[in-house]
Amino acid sequence: MAAKKKGFNIFGLGSEGDKPSSKSNVIGFVKVSLFVCAFILVLAGFTFLDGYVKKQTTGSSGNRTIELVGDVPNWVSEEIKNRIYAAATAEANNSSNDDEKIAASAQQNIAHLVPWLAEARVRTTHKSILITGHWRKPMLLVTADNKNKFFIDADMVVLDYSPIGNLPVINITGMELSKIPPTPGQVWQGDDLTAAIAVLNRLARMDTAVTPDKPLLHHIDRIDVANFDGRKNKREPHISLYTKDGTQIIWGAELGTWQRHLESPDDDKLAKLYTYYQQYGTLSGVKYINLRDPQQKIYLPVDKY
């Protein structure tokens, strides 16, 4: 009699001669294992998500969760969030069980230690410390002495250099840095900085109104104010912007002074720039775009060849 051939099932266990009950046991074991694995993965996922939006802390008032409530921009990094959590509980171990004192202490610490969250408001429940406020969005990056870096928001408030998410921040060059920069949380006073912020704010408003799906500012790498108010050369542009591929955008004088310098009106400068951008979908392909001269032709990509 020929010997019966043996083989392996899909799980690599047993043979063709195994009894049905053995196969059922193996399949049942595999199903249970898969279920347990799936349960563990789901549980881990919920744990991760919970840790992403809440932070657990322990103080003399017992266990409380710290929560950033309201709209938290997606560019706010975990490092900035953790600094807020730490500031909110800096004196937790010395606090009483008085909820009002806990909230007042947390609010004061955030205001002094983390300028990223302005007008912070803190309230407590028996389980939570809830934090809300106005997020300061960095607009400019200042590099002093080729090493010290600071962010500046639209209100010219200094923000310490911290990691942020995917947010375009424009470098500023040519600022007068003879004075020691203000500490984070303070306003950086400077005419050249004020002029740069004013131009960028106008561009930001134009992006919102004209090109919300493809902001022009995302193409800008830096704004240069080295010749602000003609301090180096009265005949040269006072303010210029540069795209990420090196195209120079000659803005000219600071906002509101175009008549004194016989330049195009500020609104005309914006119109020329955005007309070009909408028509060609890019600011690349030309050496420069001159906005300051009245009736000045803007060179087209084909003109450089």
What pTM was computed for the model?
0.74
Strands 138-144 and 220-224, how do they pair? unpaired
d(CA 216, CA 219): 6
CA Rg value for the chain: 30
Closest CA to 294 of 255, 254, 267: 267
- Per-residue model confidence as pLDDT tens digits over 121-177: 999 888 889 999 999 999 999 998 767 899 999 999 999 999 898 888 999 999 987
Question: How many structural domains comprise the chain?
Answer: 2
d(CA 106, CA 88): 4
Let me know whether 79 and 130 are in one domain: yes
At 99 the pLDDT is 83
For the chain, percent of residues with pLDDT exceeding 90? 58
Instruction: Pick 264 or 48 by higher pLDDT.
Output: 264
Q: Which of 43-47, 194-198, 210-214, 276-280 has the lowest mean pLDDT?
A: 43-47
- Per-residue model confidence as pLDDT tens digits over 255-294: 999 999 999 999 999 999 999 999 999 998 889 999 999 8
| Domain's final residue, options 108, 135, 162 | 135
At 232 the pLDDT is 96
The CATH number of the domain where 131 resides is what?
Answer: 3.10.20
Let me know whether 153 and 198 are in one domain: yes
Let me know whether 88 and 182 are in one domain: no
